[in-house]
Structure 1
Amino acid sequence: MRHATTSDGVRIAYQIEGQGPPLVLLSGQANDHHWWDGVRNDFHSAHSTLTLDYRGTGESDKPDQPYSTAGFAQDVIAVLDELGIDRADIYGTSMGGRVAQHLAARYPDRVGALVLGCTSPGGTHGIERDNEVRKSLAQPQPAARQALLELMYTPAWLATHQGPYNTLGDPDMPAYAKRRHLAASNQHDAWDILPDIAAPTLVLHGTDDRFNPAANAPLLAQRIPFASMHLIPGARHAYFEEFRAIASPLALDFLATARQR
C-alpha cells in the first residue's frame, strides 16, 4: 500500500501487482480496490495492474467535500505521476467507467487503450435504471443488500458462491463519503467530450444489467470514434466477475491488439 498526494493535498492509496505494461483498473461507486480482487490475476499474464482507493474509500483520505468523476480522474493522474507512468491502458467498470471517460477525453496522451465496462455517458443522454430497481435499493436492510446482490449476479451464481462479495461497497466508508460518491456518479455527464476520446475503445456490458442498463453500451460505442462493443448474454452488473471466463479474455485480446496498432 502506497500513497500519492493530489494537488489539493489529498492522499490517494494505490496498489501495484504483477509485471509488464501498466493496466489501471477502476472500480465502481463507493468501492475501493477490492472490487477487482476476484479477477485481478487474470491480467497478470500480460500486464502489471494498478488500482487505487478513490478519495472517500479504503486507505485514501476522506475529505467531506464535493467529489466528481472528473476529479477522480485527476486523482488517477496524480497516482500515475507519482509512479512516473507516462501512459497506461485503462479498464473502468461502473462508476470507474465514468472516470475512465474523463481520463481518455481530457488526458489523451496518458491513455493507451480503453475498456469501458457496465457504464454510462450520464446526463440527459444516459439510460437510467427503472423505478422498480430504485425502490428495491431503497428498502431497509437486509432487503436492500439482497436486492443489490441480485442486480450484480445471477441466481445461479448466488446459489453456488457464498461470498465475500467485493462489489457491494466499502463497508468502512463513512456515510458522508457514500453520499459524496453517489452525487459524483449521478452528476456525471461526459456526452460532449466522448468524441474527443482518441484511444481505441472496447465497450463491455451484460445484456441483463438493470443496475446500469445495457442500452447505455451502444450509446457509448456510437459516440466514441474508435469504439467497438461486446454484449455478454445473460450477464448482470458484475459481469467481469461472474463471467470472467468470457470478459477477461475479451479485454486482454483487445488490449493486445490495440498495443500492436
Structure 2
Amino acid sequence: MVTVHPMPLAEAADGTALHYEVHGSGRPLVLLSGQSNSHRWWDPVRDDFAAAYRTVVLDWRGTGESGHPETDSYSTPGFARDVVAVLDHAGIERAHVYGTSMGGRVAQWIAADHPGRVDRLVLGCTSPGPPHGIERGPEVRAALSQPDAAAANRALKELMYTPGWIARQGEGAVFHTLGDPAMPPHARRRHLRASARHDSWDALPRITAPTLVVHGTDDVFNPTANAPLLTERIPGARMRLVPGARHAYFEEFADIATPLVLGFLAEEGAEGA
C-alpha cells in the first residue's frame, strides 16, 4: 500500500495558499497537471509513481484547495515559483519534475530558472509557447468554443482520448483531465491567459537537467510537432513518441508511458534529495 502523507498548506510569495499532497517514499518526484486542473489530473496513475518515489502533487492557484486570488498573479513562471514554494515547505531541496500539458510549460521554467532544484526533467504533451511553438488548428479551437457546453465537453474528451478508449470506460466514467469543475470563472480565464502567454524559447537552452520529451503521435490539442522543437532546443534532450496516443497519453497509454518515464528517471546518474 502506498503511504499518503497529509500536508498543511504551503504559502506562495504573495500569500496565496497552495494545497499539495505527498504520496509514497524514496527520492522526490513532482507531478504537474494541465491547465485549469487540480492534482486530481494524476489520480489514475499517481500510485504507479508513488510505488517508487516520494511523489508530490499540487493544486495550482485557482484550482482545488489552493487559493483563488483575483489578481494578475497567474503566469507559467509564477506557477513555477509556486512549485518551488511547495518544495520548500515540504523540505525537498531537489526533485525529479514531470510536467504534462501546461504543467510541462511550468516545468520548463522550474528547470531553467531554478536548476539546482531539478534532478531529471520529463516534459509531456507540451510546447515552448505560441511565438515559436505549433498551435492547435482553427477547427480544434472552434470545437472547444462552441456554445453547446455538452458538445464542447465531448470535443475536449475526444482530444484527450481515442474514441475506443472512451467507449470502454462506459457511462458515468469520471475523467480527471477535463478541468476542475469547482474552479471559479475568474481563475479559469487567468489559467487560459497564462498558458497562452507562455514563451520559454530563449530560456530552453539554459536547461541543464537530463530531459525526456514525451508526446502522443495523434495529439492535435497540443500538436505533436512541438516535441521535436523542444528536443532540439534543450541541450541533450531525448524524445519518445507514443504511437496512437492523443493528449492524455499518460493515462490511456499508461502501460507504455509510465514504464518509459520510470525507466528514464531511474537511469544511472539520477540523483535525488
What TM-score comes out, normalization by structure 2 length? 0.94
How much does 1:87 deviate?
0.1
Partner SS, residue 183 of structure 2: coil
Letter in 1 for 2:117: R
Please state if 1:242 is matched with 2:252. Answer: yes
How much does 1:83 deviate?
1.3
The equivalent of 1:256 in structure 2 is: 266
Aligned residues: 261
The equivalent of 2:110 in structure 1 is: 103
The equivalent of 2:141 in structure 1 is: 134
Picking from 64, 72, 75, the partner of 2:70 is 64
* Deviation by residue 1:170-214 (Cα, 9 ceiling, x = unmatched): 000000100000000000000000000000000000000000000
Picking from 31, 44, 48, the partner of 1:25 is 31
Picking from 6, 9, 20, the partner of 1:3 is 9
Partner SS, residue 79 of structure 1: helix
Change (3 A) 1:253 1:159: same
CA–CA separation in structure 1 for the residues paired with 2:37 and 2:251 = 15
CA–CA separation in structure 2 for the residues paired with 1:231 and 1:52 = 26
Please state if 1:92 is matched with 2:99. Answer: yes
Letter in 2 for 1:76: V
* Deviation by residue 1:207-235 (Cα, 9 ceiling, x = unmatched): 00000000000000000002100001100
Q: Is the 8 A contact 2:9 2:17 kept in 1?
A: yes
Segments of structure 1 that go 5 or more residues without pairing to the other structure are none
- The structure with more helix, counted as a fraction of residues: 1
Calculate percent identity across the aligned residue pairs. Answer: 62
Q: Is the 8 A contact 1:113 1:258 kept in 2?
A: no
CA–CA separation in structure 1 for the residues paired with 2:135 and 2:249 = 18
How much does 1:141 deviate?
1.1
* Deviation by residue 1:102-130 (Cα, 9 ceiling, x = unmatched): 00000000000000000000031110000
CA–CA separation in structure 2 for the residues paired with 1:12 and 1:260 = 28
Runs of 4+ displaced beyond 2 Å = 258-261
Segments of structure 2 that go 5 or more residues without pairing to the other structure are 1-5
Picking from 49, 74, 79, the partner of 2:86 is 79
Change (3 A) 1:45 1:144: same
Taking only aligned residues, the RMSD between alpha carbons, in angstroms, comes to 1.0
The equivalent of 2:3 in structure 1 is: none
Please state if 1:46 is matched with 2:52. Answer: yes
Partner SS, residue 90 of structure 1: strand
The equivalent of 1:169 in structure 2 is: 179
Letter in 2 for 1:249: P
CA–CA separation in structure 2 for the residues paired with 1:25 and 1:51 = 5
Please state if 1:202 is matched with 2:212. Answer: yes
What TM-score comes out, normalization by structure 1 length? 0.98
